[in-house]
A and B are shown apart, each in its own frame.
Chain A
Amino acid sequence: MTGTSQQIKDWSRPVAPPRRDVGAALAALSEEDLLRLRAIARLRARSLPPDGMTWSDLLHEAVLRALAGARPWPAGVPLLAFLAGVMRSLCDEQWRRHHRQDDLPSSYDAGGADDPERACAAAEALAAIQRLFASDEAALKVITGLISGMAAEDIRLHYDMTAVEYDTTRRRIRRTMLRHGSAWSWP
């Protein structure tokens, strides 16, 4: 009987997922992952308000929040994907803060729809990314397809690319981003 009541007590306890050790996982990142993390931070920094954080600020803040548990690291999600998600949220948060500072309408807070300043910044960022691939016609096609929200298969069919051409182009895009990450800046 005692055993049963103990069991009931155990079941009624809230089940907290085991806290994942972000610090240990960060310390264990390979050199490749560090480079990948930098490239992702630089990429995400493209969607920040133009007068705000730098890519390193963005990464620093994301890591701080992850370490503090402000953003719990879900089980089964790789650390880099998790940090990328935190950086993505931080970019939206920076825009909300930017609008609050400038006393702009609160409707801009809800994801930034119809925000002319954010639309303008997005157009500039898109132009900067497209310039990066100006000499690569196939890459520009893929980039244009991605901007339109097309899936890989749709892009391939739309631009009449073979699977091999598409994969080779994606590889070039990845290398270009990794190679030129440090050269990106606001116009």
Chain B
Amino acid sequence: MIRMGSPQFGLTALLDALERELLGAQADEVPDALRESGQARNIVCQEIRALLNEAIAESEDGSAATLPSDICTGLDRLLGFSRELRPVARGHARISGASAWSCRRH
């Protein structure tokens, strides 16, 4: 249980509230804000679309890399090794969470 008034409580409360704001933002607010930032809307959209397509393609590969988290946690505890050592879809092993994810794409 996170204590009220702790930084963690504050961050959780703030992120949840800001997330609700983003989910509830009117459709015209989103591109307007992007325009103000000087970023090209189509480039940003392509970037996200590519990220989603990458995940869809990886999922269609039938990879076993993504198991339900509770199964993974159970396996980790049973087998006594870190999940990062399991092979992933594109043939490279995850050495650690940080290094594997950062080698994917940025």
- Chain A residues in the interface with B (C-beta under 8 A): 23, 26-27, 29-32, 34-40, 43-44, 46-47, 51-54, 56-57, 59-61, 63-65, 67-68, 70-71, 78, 80-81, 84, 88-89, 93-94, 96-98, 100-101, 111-115, 118-120, 122-123, 125-126, 129, 143, 146-149, 170-171, 173-180, 182
A residues less than 8 Å from B69 (CB atoms): 65, 70, 89, 93
Which chain A residues lie closer than 8 Å to B73 at the CB level? 96
Which of B13, B76, B102, B104 is A147 in contact with, Cβ under 8 Å? B13
Q: Which residues of A contact B66 (CB under 8 A)?
A: 61, 64-65, 68, 70
* Interchain nearest-CB distance for A181 vs B (Å): 8
Asked if A60 meets B21 with Cβ closer than 8 Å, knowing A32-B27, A38-B44, A47-B11, the reply is no
Which residues of chain A are within 8 angstroms of B48 by Cβ–Cβ distance? 34-35, 37-38, 59
A125 to chain B, nearest CB (A): 5
B19 touches A44 (CB 8 A): yes
- Give Cα A30–Cα B27 distance, bound, in whole angstroms: 10
* Residues of chain B whose beta carbon lies under 8 Å from any beta carbon of chain A: 1-15, 17-19, 21-23, 25, 27, 29-34, 36-37, 39, 41, 44-45, 47-49, 51-52, 54-56, 58-59, 65-69, 73, 76, 82-83, 96-98, 101-102, 104-106
Q: 12 new A-B pairs (CB below 8 Å) besides A35-B41, A148-B5, A173-B18?
A: A36-B22, A60-B51, A61-B66, A64-B65, A64-B66, A111-B2, A146-B17, A147-B11, A147-B13, A174-B21, A175-B29, A178-B33
The reply to whether A36 and B17 contact each other, CB–CB distance below 8 Å, is: no
A35-B30, A113-B1, A175-B32 given as contacts; is B106 within 8 A of A122 (CB)?
no
Distance in angstroms between the alpha carbons of A38 and B67 in the assembled complex = 24
The 8 Å CB contact of B31, one of A31, A61, A112, A176, is A31
Name the distance in Å between B97's Cβ and chain A's nearest Cβ: 6
A170 touches B56 (CB 8 A): no
Given known pairs A54-B106, A64-B66, A179-B34, the reply for A40 and B22 (CB within 8 Å) is yes
Q: Which A residues are CB-close (under 8 A) to B10?
A: 122, 126, 147-149
Instruction: Out of A54, A112, A174, name the residue touching B33 (CB < 8 Å).
Output: A174
